[in-house]
Each structure stands twice: as C-alpha cells, then as structure tokens.
Amino acid sequence: MKFLKLQYHLMIVLALLFTNLSHSQNLNKNPIEVDDLLKIRSITNISTSVDGKWVIYSVKSIEDDSLNKKETKKELLPSYILDKVLPNMNYSYKKRFWNLNLEENSIPYLLDSAKSEISQVVFSPNGNEIAYLKKVDGLSQIFKYDLKTKISKQVSFFSYNINNIIWNRDGNRLVFTTAIPIMAYLYDTTLQSIRNVANISSRDSLFISNYLHYDSPNPDGTIENIRSYLYRNELSQKAKVIRKIQYQTEAGINTAVNLSHIFILDTSFGSTPIALTKGLNNYSSPYFINRNKIIVNSTPVVEDSSLYGLTKSSIYEINIDSNEIFPLKQDTHFSYSIESVSKSGKYLAYQRNVLGKVNIPKIYIYNTIDQKSNDYLIEIDRNLSQIQFSSDENYIYFIKSGNGGSVVSKSRVGTKTFQNLTDSVDGVLSFSVLDKKIIYAKTTISNPSELYIKNLEENKEQQLSHLNDKWLENKFISIPVKHSIVNELGQKVEFWVMKPKGFESNKKYPLLLEMHGGPASMWGPGEESMWHEFQFFTGKGIGVVYGNPRGSNGYGEKFLRANEKDWGTGPAKDVLSYLNKTISEDWVDSSKLLLSGGSYAGYLTAWILSHDHRFLAASSQRGVYDFNTFLGEGDVWNIVPRYFGGYPWTNKIGELLKNQSPINYVQNINTPLLIFIGEHDTRVGTTQSDMLYKSLRLLGKHVEYVRHPNADHELTRSGDNTQRIDQMLRTYEFFYRYLYK
C-alpha cells in the first residue's frame, strides 16, 4: 500500500513538472494574431461509404478574393488618397469536398473542380457511386460520380433548385425536395401533377387570390383585373406585400411564397423527375423506409398565429406507387421532425418538440414495421443531434452537447444507458459511423478543426488531417481551466479561465469577461466559433473568463428554463459570481475588468452595466435592449412569448417586459461602451442599438457606435472577413484606450 501511495505521489509530481515545462515552452511562442483568422480551415459534412473504404468531407477555408473586390465609391476621397489608405483586401469563403481512401491511406483528392459549388454529397447504398449537388447556371442539379472510374456526369436538368437528395434501397433512384414559387405552382404546366387548386380552403383563398389572375392587369377593371395589376407591382418590386407572420429573415425581408415538394428521379441519363407530393403544404426531409415507401416532414404554408407564428410539423408516410399519404406522427401540442432512418428502414429516429415553450426536444425511436409497439424515448436530458444507426441497427450514435463539450455517444436501441466515445472537453462538429470505428471532425483546445478516426475496440484515436497544424506550430495557446460555482438555486454553474500570454504569478493582469448569446447556447473549450477570439485576447496579455449561466444549454431542461421571465437578474448573478471567483485568484487586476457579449449577451452586457459599475470598458454586439420594439423588428420575436409568457399587451406581461428591458435603466450606465450592429441584422433589428446609443449620447455618457454595412447577425461567425477582423480590432483598440491611458 505504501508503494502504491509513493507511486501515486510521484505521478502527481511528474505531471506538475511536465505542466510547468509545457507552460514555459508555450510562453516562448508567438501569440495568435487577428489575421490568423484567415488561416483557419474547418471540416464538416462527413459521410462514409457502406464498406468503410471511403470518406468524404468538406473543408471551409478563407481565401484572398481581391480580384473580385467590389468597386469602392470614389466620391469618398480623391483617388490618390484612396489608393494609399484602402488596401485591396477581399476575403471569401470556399467550401470544397474531399475524398479519402481509408484502406489505402492515400492523399485526399477533390471530388470536383476547385471552382465547383457543391452543397451535398451522398454515397449510394453499394458504396460505388456518389450523388452530389452542384450549381449549374445558378440552379442546384444532381451529379453522379463513379468511384472506380472517377467520372462524373449530370443526371438532373430540373427547372428549380434541388435539395436534400436521398438514394433508394436499390441505388437506381433518388428522391429530393425543391422549392417552387407560388406562381410556378399555379401555372407551370410541367408541375401540373402537384397542383391542387380545387382544394384551396377559404382561409387560403385570400392568401393566393392575387396570383390567380396575373395575366389581366387593369387598374380600372374588375376586382380580378385590379388584383392582377397589384401583383404586377409586387413582381416589379414597387410594393412588398406581407401576408405571413414570419416575414423577416436573418438579413432582410422575405415576402415570397414558395412551396416545398418531393420528387423522385431515375438516375439514368435524361430521366424526368416525378412529383410524389402535391397541394398547399410544404414537404421536406424524405427518407426511404422500404422499396416503395418514404417518410417526409410536412408543414402548412399558412402559419397559425396561436402558435406564436410557428409552423407545426408532422411526419407522413407516402406510398410512391399509389401516391397514398397518411400521418405517422401528428399532434396538436407537438412538432415532429425526422432525424434518421436505419439501414433497412425498420427504425425511425424522430424529434418531438413542444411548440412555443422553452424545452429540450426529445428523441424517440419508432418501429416502422411493428407500428403498434410503443415508441422508445432516448432518456438523456441534453441536446442530441446527428442521429445515426449502426449497420446492424442495434445501436444509435449521436452528438451529445453538455458541460461545455460536444461528444459522440452511443446507446443500444431499447436501453436507457449510453457511452461517450470521444473526449468530453472537445467539440465534435460532424461524424460518421463505420464498422467498429467512427470518423469525426472536432475542435480541441490546441486546434480549431481536424479530422480523426477512432477504433472503438482498441479505444485508439488517429488524426487524419493536418489542415491547421502547420501555422499553429509556433503559436502560444492559452489553456482553459474549468471551475464551478453554485448559485442561489443550488445549480452548479461551470466556467473556464484562460491566463494571458507571458503570465507570471507575481504580476496582475486585465481580465475580459466574455458571455455567450442564445440565451440557450453553450460555450466550452470545444466551441469552434470562439476559439480564435479567446486566443487573440489572451495573446494580447488579457486574461479571459467565460461560462454557462442559468438558461444555457448543456445542463438539462431545468437549468435551461431557469431564466424564464428572468433574462437579467438571475443570469447576471451567475456571471458576476464566477467573475468574483476568478478575481480571487490574485493575478487579476480588479481595476482593469472588461466585458463583452453579443446577441443575448449584448442584452446581458447592457443589463450588467446598468446594475454594476466595476468594469473599465465594455463592448455590446447585436444586442436586444427593448422587448417592445424587439417584438416587431426581430425575426426571432417569438422569444418574447416563449420566455415571458405573453405579449406587451397581455395582462402583467407588459410590466414584466418593461422591467426586463435594459433600455429602461440606461441612465445608470457609466462604463465606456462600444456598440456594434450589422446594418442588415434583422435577427434583433438595428433600432435596438440605435436606441441604446442615442440614449447614452443624450445622457452624455462615453459611448461609440459601429454599424457594419451589409452585415447581418452572423457577422462574427460567417460574415465578411474584413468586417470580422475590423470588429475584433475595434474592440481591442477601444479596450486599449482605457487599459493603458
């Protein structure tokens, strides 16, 4: 026993020595710079052949596209000045699909040319062919690629964009979805089989009345002529007529009415797609369950205002020979969506979501053969995604998000236990199941994205790609250290602390408190979207602390719902509690605290600043500050009734929303604040930021406001890369003014 204790203590000492040595070596490396953002390459969309020989994955990169840069408005400055102050910078995203032979351990090769716009890749059932979508004259068409001959040919020549391709069991036909404009639905003769105008309900008749007489416009004619005239004005963009509740998109207004329908196509050259669905419904997510039956999701075109503008989705079964359709999963209170189907079609994994409520959607397994058997619930109180069945249909695999990481897990069908297959610290982005192996892309502390394969029997992981290794070789990486506090509700709240480059225990450093949006999001060491930003600030000598306050995903439904009717006070308590615990570590300079957050965290930034005055400077991006205006201008406006139980005019809710809106405490904000918004951000709307900025200016406070032209809510994740760099640098420069004045 004494020997075992001695051995244990020796291991601890060696581990500490190794950690200190690694830390010392890391200090001599270069910091992550802002333009290292342009070097990051990310892997997603992993799929494998049934024999496990081939894997295809996409790589997203950022590339110099200066030759295609839009012309700068010359009237801003004389050209001789513009040429000096405006560098010719333009960076665009490129996504390319790569094919890798796992058996031969060969070098990956491009599936198509480097300039091709490919959006989806699907292996045939026998693993010898690949179907993929590629842009041709602006429309997505189906191509078929032979893995033996490496020859590709186009097999569809459809008049509309094709999406969501799925092979049948025999590998000789494909089903797909396509979005059809309402005018095409009514008048395109090639779509006659899907038209069902005779069955238009009285509720829908006004919805499409203008479209029925489009060819006889006359402002002085009959009501049909007038409607036709008015519709011509819509077509020519003289008017945008809104007939639906959910008319806002991520980056603008969408008044178009499209119908999504299912078609089937023989993969032989020159075949004509045949419609499998019809009528004024939207159909999506087709899957084969046997040779002549598919299952699909279906949603009505017209929203139900009683469901907060949400559309309820049901699951239907379609006989492709007789075109008979009947519901499998349909309910007044729930929305159903198809997640996956097993190889033989025996099992269907579907998601059940409670409409209009804050909840974790439940995943069920349904037996399509024995339809009288009870559906099996996967009893895991976490968000599950990318559901896949093993080839023998005995196991299901999925990504489980929780406690700051996203792991691949598996569970035996019909049991209540599960097993994590990857490291819980990492963030798996995409995966595919092979026989006794899994292949996946993940974010780690030291690398934003690489491809890995793991032998499940030997529990051995092998890195297959080296997309980011080279440029990261001599870079300083700050290691997040996990901590936790317990809030007044008795809930454990996890957070991570990252020390700055050049850290010395006898010195004090600034600390940046970073907060996530959502509010139902989750951060951790495996969060790819924040990997660069965290490393950038620690490389500048600023410590970083971030965590998951109440209302975050990844900790169960009770934790998720803990911020209902309380977006401000409760979450702020959690955030400030783990800030206080970090400050107690002694290396933090409490006079140099910084605060930053975007989206919901923009809200929380403004809330904290109006109730706490310890911060030296702060940055709030694309936030919500007033719930009354947010209801009208945000495309996720239904967050208001979902989290707060009603609308501003609802009994007692109006007062609650007023008390929960940071704009009503703006007079208490004294911290210098930098506000960001994208001018095309209709996720939250620009009025939110306008109000906050103007109010602070009228109050004589230290505030600066940055509007990024043409940018939407996703600016920092997938927006213009010059603007992404601009926002990060402006934030650092703003903080620098107050840190080192």
User: H-helix or E-strand containing 733?
Assistant: helix 721-739
Q: Report the C-alpha gap between 219 and 209 in whole angstroms.
A: 16
φ, ψ for residue 521, nearest 5 deg = -110, 180
* Whole-Å CA distances, 172 to 7, 265, 391, 470: 63, 9, 21, 43
* Res 415: pLDDT: 87
Between CA 436 and CA 459 the distance in angstroms is: 10
| Domains detected in the chain | 155-305 (no CATH), 331-475 (2.120.10.30), 477-739 (3.40.50.1820)
In the predicted model, residues of the chain with pLDDT beneath 50 are 1-5, 7-8, 11-16, 18-19, 72-74, 198-206
Structural contact between residues 58 and 43, judged by C-beta atoms closer than 8 angstroms: yes
pLDDT value for 304: 59
Q: What whole-number distance in Å separates Cα of residue 405 and Cα of residue 496?
A: 12
Structure tokens at 448: 């934003």
Task: Judge whether 60 and 95 are in contact, CB under 8 Å.
Answer: yes
Closest CA to 289 of 328, 231, 259, 232: 328
> What DSSP string describes 118-141?
EEEEEE-TTSSEEEEEEEETTEEE
b/e per residue 247-282 (b: at least 16 CB within 10 A): bbeebeebeebbbbbbbbbebeeeeebebbbbbbbb
Say which DSSP state 30 is in.
B
- Residue 333's pLDDT is 84
Instruction: Say what the pTM is.
Output: 0.90
**What's 419's DSSP letter?**
E
57 Cβ partners below 8 Å, 6+ apart? 43, 44, 45, 46, 47, 97, 98, 100, 430, 441, 451
Please provide the distance, in angstroms rounded to a whole number, between the alpha carbons at the two ends of the chain. 60
Q: Is the alpha carbon torsion for 280, 636, 709, 732 positive or negative?
A: negative
Q: How far apart are CA 286 and CA 321, in angstroms?
A: 15
In terms of DSSP H, where are the helices of 209-313? 223-235
